[in-house]
Amino acid sequence: MESEVEGGVQAAREGELESSAVVAGDRELTGAESQPEETGAVSEPSEIASAGGGAETDPSPECVNADSAGAASNDMELEVSGADDLSDGELQRMLAALLFASPEPLGLARLSSLTDGAQPARLRQVLAKLEEALGAAELPLRLVELAGGYQLLTTEDQAETVGQLSRVRKAERLSPAALETLSVVAYRQPVSKAEVEAIRGVQAGPLLRALVDRGLIRVTGRAPVPGNPLQYGTTRQFLEQFGLSRLKDLPRDGELAQG
């Protein structure tokens, strides 16, 4: 009997030990499984976010400065014109050829477009050198500023020689009445037909039409008076034909009196 009791007590003790061991094992397993999940949930996503997001959204100042410098250098390369590669001698030869071949004066803007964008300041310097070179070479050519541009013309001492080329053509001369009308328009422009007639004292309609047909004057607008009559002014061809660079070069009253 006592042996049975002792066996039951021993079995009960062994059962308690096994249950405590199972509980302890469960606790260890629970702690081991929960700890990695907490560590991964907190640390790993934050580290990934900081590493990935920082590289994409916050570029370093050195990268930004390098990109800006590269873009600025590209812009500077685009701004450089082809004329910068030309020496003054090459540009001078180009200008001489253009002015010799052109039948009309060429302005600085036109010359710039024909010489790969040469700057006006440089064109003036090279044109001045060209004028000096023509004088030093003693050629019967001269560079003149005419009608707001530049043109190569023969020297005055060769006028009679060159005139032989056009002797076969009938000289187109203006009558004294046409010259008077043209003078009124040149000095009083813009001027209407009534104003020209008031100054000259005769009809001016036919003469004005003839001057328009010859390209010496043009209609510039209408006068702000009753009837809004047409107003007339001179043309660029007028400046070229009379050897003037601009209207300010017209002789003044004192110069006319001395002449």
pLDDT digits (tens, 9 = 90+) for 188-231: 999 999 999 999 999 999 999 999 999 999 999 999 989 899 99
pLDDT, residue 172, reads: 65
pLDDT, residue 147, reads: 84
Backbone angles phi, psi at 172, to 5 degrees: -95, 105
Please report, for the chain, the start and end positions of each structural domain, with discontinuous segments joined by +: 10-49, 84-165, 173-258
Distance between CA atoms of residues 245 and 146, nearest Å: 4
- Identify the DSSP state of 190: S
Residue 221, token pair as written in the block: 């607008």
Helical axes 193-200 vs 205-213, angle rounded to 10°: 120
pLDDT, residue 238, reads: 92
Note the pTM of the prediction, 2 decimals.
0.48
The fold for domain 173-258 equals Arc Repressor Mutant, subunit A (1.10.10)
Question: Considering all CA atoms of the chain, what is the largest pairwise distance in Å, rounded to the nearest integer?
Answer: 167
- Report residues of the chain scoring pLDDT below 70: 1-81, 166-172, 253-259
pLDDT, residue 1, reads: 45
pLDDT, residue 255, reads: 56
- In this structure, CATH architecture of domain 84-165: Orthogonal Bundle (1.10)
Fold agreement (84-165, 173-258)? yes
**Which of 203, 253, 213 lies closest to 235 in space, CA to CA?**
213
pLDDT, residue 65, reads: 52
Q: Kindly report the CA angle at 126 between 125 and 127, in degrees rounded to 5?
A: 90
